[in-house]
Amino acid sequence: MDSNSNLNHDEIDLIYLFKSVLESWKLILSITCFFTILGVLYAKSTPLTYQAVARLQVETQHQHLDFHVNDISNLFISQSTANTEIEIIKSRMVLGRTVDNLNLTLYSSPIFTPIIGKKIAYFLGDVPEIKVSLLITPENDNKSSGNRGGEYIVKISDAKKGLYDFFNKNNELIFSGEVGKLVNKNGYQLLILQLNGEVGQKFIIKKLNRYNTVSSLRKSLSIKESGKDTGILQLSLVGSNPLRMETILNDIANNELAQNIDHNALEAAKSLAFIENQLPEVKQELDIAENKLNAFKVSSDSIDMDYQAKSTLNILASVESKLIDLGFKESEISKLYTKEHPAYVSLLQQQRTLLKRKAELENEVSAMPKTNQKIITLNRDVMAAQHIYISLINKVQQLRISQESTVGSVRLIDSAETSPVPIKPKKALIVVLTTLLGGMLSIAIVLLKKTVMSGIDDPRQISSLGLPLYATVPYSVNQSKLLKKSKSSREFNEEGMLLACLYPDDLAIEAIKSLRTSLYFSISTAKNKIIMISGSSPDLGKSFLSKNLAIVFSQAKKKVLFIDTDMRKGKSTKVFNLKGKNGLSEYLSYQGNLDEIVQKANVDNLDVISCGCIPPNPSELLMGNRLSELMEWANENYDIVIVDTPSLLAVTDAALVGKYAGANFLVGRFKKTSIHEIEVAKERFNHAGVEITGFILNSVEKKISNTYGYYNYSYVDK
């Protein structure tokens, strides 16, 4: 049973909160619409941002060393990776060229009104524009400005004719000029190609530091590899000027291609210069070897060698030529691999085999006659020198061809292009998100107000305090009009204040009549017929209820006495249009008797005891014996006694009066009186020994979440 009860309670709370949201639909709609408008304004006033993209391919060369001289050009192709090229592109070598080529150190921008000027300009689509091609300033001005050229102001003087004024940072006019014409005056040179804006529009022009400009460009440039190990680099820039971004991006790509080719060609040029320097020495060594051979032939009268010597010489020369070629290969392969690499190991193995064969042939030569040995040695020297010389000549030719036809390891795939669709702001998304934010925020405000910040707005909240709810009195439009009328008039009368007299069929009066029925049966079992009406704080409507309750009891042919115990701010004399001045304060202070203080109201069966003159000590008077005597007399002489008291949390008067009443009621105002106030008031009554009979909820507004309705006024938890 308990679990079911809790479940039902939770469901009721959720339903209650849901209905609370529905009944606040105007507030929610207003806040949501406000946020939607803010979103539209923000999206409309935010500059459009585009993205320009270019693509480069980094080709990684895999050298296949087949040990032929004609592959020498492969040595001068850089072994590049994508990560290496990314860092090279971001270097000052590449970006610095772009900054210089496009004069990016020259900064120009319109001057907007602070805070909102830029937003308004973009919202209206009327953004001033300026395009400066050249700015040169005097050297002394550069030094005094502290920042390469300093800051200057261009002000449009005639928009139609394209005339402008040029000021320094101290707002001193330097010269006047015209768009499209170079101005050269007093050491200043300025060329403005485009100037759009209203007369008086100002622009700022200044020379930026080159290092900072390169750093800023590096930060704004995004480079990433498309996919893993693809070698495809995507370069992108974002900004509001598509043409400018494409120009910058294309220049960066071209600079990267140029430096890559220059780097490869430079290596080939260095190798070519080195070999060309070695050629004269090799040629000289060849000439010396040939001269020695010819001289030996002449001196020894040796014209020819035998067949064995020729065969051995040819084989030995071939082996030495191969060793020379392997020496070239080793110098090449050592730039790429270590000696543990299989290619390097294979080369060394070939060298050892040839050296072994060379040693065998040299042993054969050593066994020949000395004349043959000498001629073989001289021929070997000539043939070796010839082979080296011819190899170098071939390398020079290869390097020259390689230098003339050098290609880089980087190539341009896609030149820079900007998508026509801006990447931000996402206008539709912004409007949707701000609308959702406004809706959620407004709902949160409503729920927070319902759960934390507001007063009672559901009669069920009263029952949780252990107080029977005797009536829910609906808000009366007629009573509101009467109050406004009475406040605007200096005279108060019963027609101006008493709703029960002027509008007896009002819903609020019907609820009070229902309360009258409930009280009539409750009083029959109480200790006396005295009913005290009190509240936790002012402006809850307790006086309105007590006075109109007294009237509806008198209209039921009951003899009623109304006692106003608020001796600080009581208004019963004016409300009931009483003529006598004596009241409760005079009676309690022994300055008047019952005949003097009890007055007839202009309503049949209703007598009134007003508060009287304001005494200096109301609480002390209520603590005297005279109040007890008055209550006993009233209980014996009237069918119903209605006592109106001051607010309990302000003064203690209600607690002093409550102990004489047979029924004590707390009044709360819809959406104003909080649960905490009721708890504090109940606790104070308990400490004074006064038991609260029930609770009356006043000024209830018809809400979706109010499931009780206007006609269920007698809800009592018994």
Is pLDDT of 536 > 90?
Answer: no
**Which DSSP symbol is given to 49?**
B
pLDDT band at 140 (very low <50, low <70, confident <90, very high): low
Residue 542 contacts residue 667 (beta carbons within 8 Å): yes
Q: For the chain, what are the domain ranges? A: 2-46+425-452, 106-207, 456-700
Letter string b/e over residues 361-383, b meaning 16 or more CB atoms within 10 A of that residue's CB: bbeebeebeeebebbbbbbbbbb
Name the band, by pLDDT with cuts 50, 70 and 90, for residue 492: very low
* 425: preceding bond cis by omega (within 30 degrees): yes
* Digit-coded pLDDT (tens) for 567-622: 888 788 888 878 777 888 888 888 888 888 999 888 899 999 998 888 888 888 88
Mean pLDDT of the chain: 81
Which of 445-449, 475-479, 601-605 is least confident? 445-449
129 or 8: which leads in pLDDT: 129
Q: Indicate the pTM of the whole model.
A: 0.54
* pLDDT computed for residue 708 by the predictor: 44
Percent of the chain with pLDDT over 90: 30
Q: Minimum mean pLDDT among 319-328, 398-407, 645-654: which range?
A: 398-407
> What CATH number does domain 456-700 carry, 1.25.40.10, 3.40.50.300, 3.40.50.720, 3.30.70.1230?
3.40.50.300
Exposure b/e, 620-650, CB count within 10 A at least 16 = b: ebbeeeebeebbeebbeebbbbbbbbbbbee
Cα maximum dimension of the chain: 178
Higher-scoring residue by pLDDT: 681, 293: 681
Contact (Cβ atoms closer than 8 angstroms) between residue 682 and residue 601: no
C-alpha distances out from residue 279 to 272, 388, 389, 397, 665, Å: 11, 9, 7, 13, 123
Work out the pLDDT band at 417, boundaries 50, 70, 90: very high
The string of pLDDT tens digits covering residues 184-227 is 998 899 999 999 989 999 999 998 999 999 999 999 999 999 88
| Per-residue pLDDT at 7 exceeds 60 | no
CA atoms of 584 and 254, how far apart (whole Å): 103
